[in-house]
């Protein structure tokens, strides 16, 4: 039995894709999650949707209560999480509108609560493969079937924000082999791993950050415009993929 959590990001705060949808308000030992939970089904598979920045997009990146969000989805019984996020591209070939399915992250955040293991016995969680390989392959296969341009096995760097990078930082991140940049994947993915939830992210490339001399430096308006034009691709990919998801506890080391 599987249950899928969807964490909607910028431009995907409230996708109306569920049958038999109902809203519920929950609290957790870590406080309130970013939004009410929308529970329903997609082709018979139970799904819970949460809006990372609130349904009115009012929560800035450092203000997201990531622990409450992951706890709330765990408490609902979610076995898998599909997360949507907007990213800036650090590679010429990852064009605005393309999708990216990351396999690695670099943590460049500075002031976030990034663990549930801050009390009790010390726990050091392995993080060599942070994103569920089963979900990543399923998403990549379905993206190809849908004719979407999706880049697999990429590295996302998460910065604190809310400001964007300087050119010096953007070039440094490229030299570290980061492929895309955002403000939300960490600590969401590692908190999900701590709760033994299989997690994968579908990132929408919206801009070229500020390293690309031929392109205008990123603005928030640029991100929203690209997301609005292409959000249906992420939604289609989720709707196509979710009914195929089965338990991967036996094949993933979560």
Residues in binding contact with Zn ion, number by CB under 5 A: 5
Q: Is 2 among the residues that bind Zn ion (CB under 5 A)?
A: no
Nearer to Zn ion, 131 or 208 (CB): 131
Q: Which segment (2-10, 36-44, 128-136, 180-188) binds Zn ion by CB under 5 A? A: 128-136
Angle at Cα 22 formed by Cα 21 and Cα 27, nearest 5°?
135
Answer yes or no: 179 catalytic.
no
Rg (CA), the chain: 17
Residues 106 and 223: beta-carbon distance below 8 Å: no
Q: Which segment (126-134, 161-169, 200-208, 226-234) binds Zn ion by CB under 5 A? A: 126-134
Count of CB atoms situated within 10 Å of the CB of 148: 20
- Binding string, residues 84-123; x marks residues near Zn ion by CB under 5 A: ----------------------------------------
Residue 41 to residues 17, 192, 254, Cα–Cα distance (Å): 9, 21, 25
Please report how close the Cβ of residue 187 comes to Zn ion at its closest, in angstroms.
19
Residue 33: what are its φ and ψ, rounded to 5°?
-70, 175
Answer yes or no: 249 catalytic.
no
Q: Is 131 among the residues that bind Zn ion (CB under 5 A)?
A: no
What are the strands, taking DSSP E only, across the chain? 4-8, 19-24, 37-42, 45-51, 80-89, 99-108, 150-159, 180-182, 198-207
Residue nearest to Zn ion (CB): 252
User: What DSSP string describes 135-152?
Assistant: HHHHHHHHHHHTT--EEE
Please report how close the Cβ of residue 79 comes to Zn ion at its closest, in angstroms.
9
**Which of 14, 209, 249, 250 is an active site residue?**
209
**Which of 13, 179, 207, 249 is an active site residue?**
207
The binder of Zn ion chosen from 116, 131, 134, 208 (CB under 5 A): 134
- Binding string, residues 186-215; x marks residues near Zn ion by CB under 5 A: ------------x-----------------
Q: Where are the alpha helices (DSSP H) in 84-166?
A: 133-145
The binder of Zn ion chosen from 26, 149, 172, 252 (CB under 5 A): 252
Distance CA 58, CA 223 (A): 16
Distance CA 152, CA 235 (A): 18
Residue 119 to residues 13, 111, 116, Cα–Cα distance (Å): 32, 18, 8
Please report how close the Cβ of residue 203 comes to Zn ion at its closest, in angstroms.
18
Strand partners, 39: 22, 48
The binder of Zn ion chosen from 48, 132, 150, 159 (CB under 5 A): 132
Q: What is the set of active-site residues?
A: 207, 209
Site residues (vs Zn ion, CB under 5 A): 132, 134, 198, 248, 252
């Amino acid at each position: 039995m599987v249950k899928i959590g969807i964490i909607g990001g910028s431009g995907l705060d409230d996708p109306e894709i569920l049958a038999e949808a109902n809203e519920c308000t929950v609290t957790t030992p870590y406080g309130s999650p970013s939004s009410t939970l929308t529970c329903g089904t997609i082709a018979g598979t139970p799904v819970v949707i949460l809006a990372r920045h609130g349904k009115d997009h009012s929560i800035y990146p450092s203000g997201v209560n990531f622990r409450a969000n992951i706890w709330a989805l765990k408490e609902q019984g979610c076995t898998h999480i599909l997360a949507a996020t907007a990213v800036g591209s650090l590679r010429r070939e990852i064009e605005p509108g393309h999708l990216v399915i990351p396999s690695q992250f670099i943590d460049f955040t500075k002031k976030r609560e990034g663990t549930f293991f801050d009390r009790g016995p010390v726990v050091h969680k392995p993080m060599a493969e942070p994103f569920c390989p089963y979900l990543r392959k399923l998403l990549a296969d379905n993206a190809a079937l849908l004719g979407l341009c999706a880049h697999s096995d990429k590295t996302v760097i998460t910065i604190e924000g809310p400001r964007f990078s300087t050119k010096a930082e953007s070039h440094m991140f490229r030299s570290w082999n980061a492929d895309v940049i955002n403000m939300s994947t960490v600590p969401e993915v590692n908190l999900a791993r701590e709760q033994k939830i299989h997690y994968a992210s579908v990132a929408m490339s919206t801009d070229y950050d500020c390293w690309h001399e031929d392109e205008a430096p990123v603005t928030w308006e640029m991100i929203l415009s690209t997301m609005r034009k292409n959000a249906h691709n992420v939604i289609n990919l989720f709707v196509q993929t979710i009914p195929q998801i089965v338990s991967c506890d036996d094949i993933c080391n979560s």
